[in-house]
Amino acid sequence: MPQQTGLAVDPGHWIGGRRQRSAARFTDHSPIDGSLVGEFDRGGAEQVDAAVQAAQQAFPGWAKTPRAERARLLHAIADGIEARLDELAAAETLDNGALLRSHLRGVIPRAAHNFRFFADWLLDGLHRDDLDTRGHRNRISWDPAGVCALITPWNAPLMLATWKIAPALAAGNTVVHKPAEWSPVTASLLADITAEAGLPPGVFNVVQGLGAEAGDALTRHPGVRRISFTGSVPTARTIAANAAATLTPVSLELGGKSPLLVFADADLDLAVELAVGQYDNAGQVCLSAVRLLVAEEIHDEFLHRFLAKAGQLKQGDPRLPETDLGPQIHRRQFDRIDGFVQRALAEGATALLGGGPNTDLGGLYYRPTLLTGAAPGSEILTEEVFGPVLTLQRFRTEEEAVALANNTRFGLAAAVVTGDPERAERVTHELVAGTVWVNCFFVRDLRAPFGGSRESGIGREGGDWSFDFFCDVKNTVFAP
């Protein structure tokens, strides 16, 4: 029997401002050591229907609540997150195995910031009445759309959920959230925090459960007016098909296979730092620039410095302050990652670093890996691995670098390291990606659009873009 972790979290759904139970359960284990985090309620069509109905009932009152009052409540939720920072960070680390120090310093505070940012953004902006048509005044307004279904993954559970919950609520919508079944804990704690903050019953609801059950029922429900999903491409196809039946607008934030382009004129120390940084969260980051594309002239020196730096990474228990890399989330994900690596090696690639499980640590710890010599077009260069696995390719010309960078079905992000501003201008225009970083990585501004091109997604969220999606935008024309 796995050991109990003793975490205090309610395993039930949160519907209409109270806990509701269902008979079926699913178990949640910690990736750190396999201990049992909890047995959570496994919702289905019945619980989803109850949650959507609760959200529908709460909608008119919440939509009419003055913006300032909505903003006050969202700030109170942010206060609650900040007050429980240590508890939330420890719970999230136990649940998904990401570094405790990252949760404490960045990820959980960002969840609180999401609420503050979207509360204030709506207060400050989002009305236009300056369009004049032959003396007629156009008033453009962002009206709440109704019940929003929000479905999120496990790699940054609370942060990614609040990135959707906050704008949806700020805009006057009500929400049904379905968190990932591998990381259900902080969604349940957030429900407690919203209640303590005084959010009216039914405005925010959580249905726990499996994607193919609770998630599927939620995306088919005719009472839902928006579906915002972050997760994998295969799931997005199913969700988009479900949404087609009810003509519900979808926002899809999906996977990636982002490139890091290092030109001969790059600051090599910076390039190496950014490259090694791609092992962050044990490679379980959608934006990760996992394909290292390096100019021929500096390739060997880059590799030498990369291996020296990456060799210092410390893998182990994510609760320890000295750890750089924790475990993968789940056995299924671990085996999938190893499958990619072993197939690439069998097809002729070479592991310059790692190349398999960390047998010293056992469990779900996978060695940070760098592969080279993979065949052009092979799966390791084109499919999302979602683990600590980078590939290295060399290029001779700028054109070749851009062609290699764009040679996937994805288009989520890209990073360019160069000392030449004109090159940066040229190359960034050529890259297919929702976000491109030049001589930096992961600098995120919530006012900026975020999303992916090609199979990395549909739509953009962030700033006004979030409200464009979560609202019915209306134009009213007044005669002179």
The catalytic site residues sit at 253
Site size toward ligand NAD (CB under 6 A) is 30
Can you tell me the distance from the alpha carbon of 375 to that of 265, in angstroms, rounded to the nearest whole number? 27
Residue 255 or 357: which CB sits closer to ligand NAD? Answer: 255
Can you tell me the distance from the alpha carbon of 339 to that of 336, in angstroms, rounded to the nearest whole number? 5
* List 11, 43, 255, 326, residue binding ligand NAD (CB under 6 A): 255
The residue assigned the tokens 């570094």 is 99
Asked if 41 is part of the footprint of ligand NAD (rule: CB under 6 A), the reply reads no
Residue 153 or 259: which CB sits closer to ligand NAD? Answer: 153
**CA angle centred on 464, ends 246 and 134, rounded to 5°:** 95
Residue 155 or 418: which CB sits closer to ligand NAD? Answer: 155
Asked if 235 is part of the footprint of ligand NAD (rule: CB under 6 A), the reply reads yes
Nearest approach in angstroms of CB 272 to ligand NAD is 24
Asked if 463 is part of the footprint of ligand NAD (rule: CB under 6 A), the reply reads no
Asked if 168 is part of the footprint of ligand NAD (rule: CB under 6 A), the reply reads no
Residue 439 or 453: which CB sits closer to ligand NAD? Answer: 453
Residue 224 or 292: which CB sits closer to ligand NAD? Answer: 224
Asked if 254 is part of the footprint of ligand NAD (rule: CB under 6 A), the reply reads yes
Asked if 239 is part of the footprint of ligand NAD (rule: CB under 6 A), the reply reads yes
* List 154, 279, 395, 465, residue binding ligand NAD (CB under 6 A): 154
Nearest approach in angstroms of CB 419 to ligand NAD is 30
* List 38, 231, 327, 388, residue binding ligand NAD (CB under 6 A): 231
Helices (H), 171-208: 185-197
Asked if 215 is part of the footprint of ligand NAD (rule: CB under 6 A), the reply reads yes
The residue assigned the tokens 């008119």 is 60
* Spatial contact of 278 and 309, defined as CB atoms under 8 Å apart: no
Q: 69 vs 118, 169, 212, CA distance in Å? A: 13, 12, 37
DSSP SS3 for 237: helix
124-140 as b/e: b if 16+ CB within 10 A: eebeeeeeeeeeeeeee
Asked if 253 is part of the footprint of ligand NAD (rule: CB under 6 A), the reply reads yes
Enumerate residues 78-107 that contact ligand NAD by CB under 6 A: none
- Neighbouring residues of 104: CB distance < 8 A, sequence distance ≥ 6: 85, 86, 89
Q: Which helix (H) or strand (E) holds 290?
A: strand 289-295
Q: How many CA atoms lie within 13 A of 440 on its CB side?
A: 6
The residue assigned the tokens 């979030």 is 466
The residue assigned the tokens 């508890």 is 87
Task: Give the CB-nearest residue to ligand NAD.
Answer: 211
Q: Which stretch binds ligand NAD (CB under 6 A): 42-50, 95-103, 109-117, 227-235?
A: 227-235
Residue 188 or 418: which CB sits closer to ligand NAD? Answer: 188
Q: Which two tokens stand for residue 480?
A: 């002179």
Can you tell me the distance from the alpha carbon of 229 to that of 254, in angstroms, rounded to the nearest whole number? 8
- At 175, the amino acid letter reads V
Can you tell me the distance from the alpha carbon of 367 to that of 45, in angstroms, rounded to the nearest whole number? 40
Nearest approach in angstroms of CB 386 to ligand NAD is 5
Asked if 433 is part of the footprint of ligand NAD (rule: CB under 6 A), the reply reads no
Residues that bind ligand NAD (CB under 6 A): 151-155, 160, 178, 180-181, 211-212, 215-216, 219, 230-232, 235, 238-239, 253-256, 286, 384, 386, 412, 452, 457
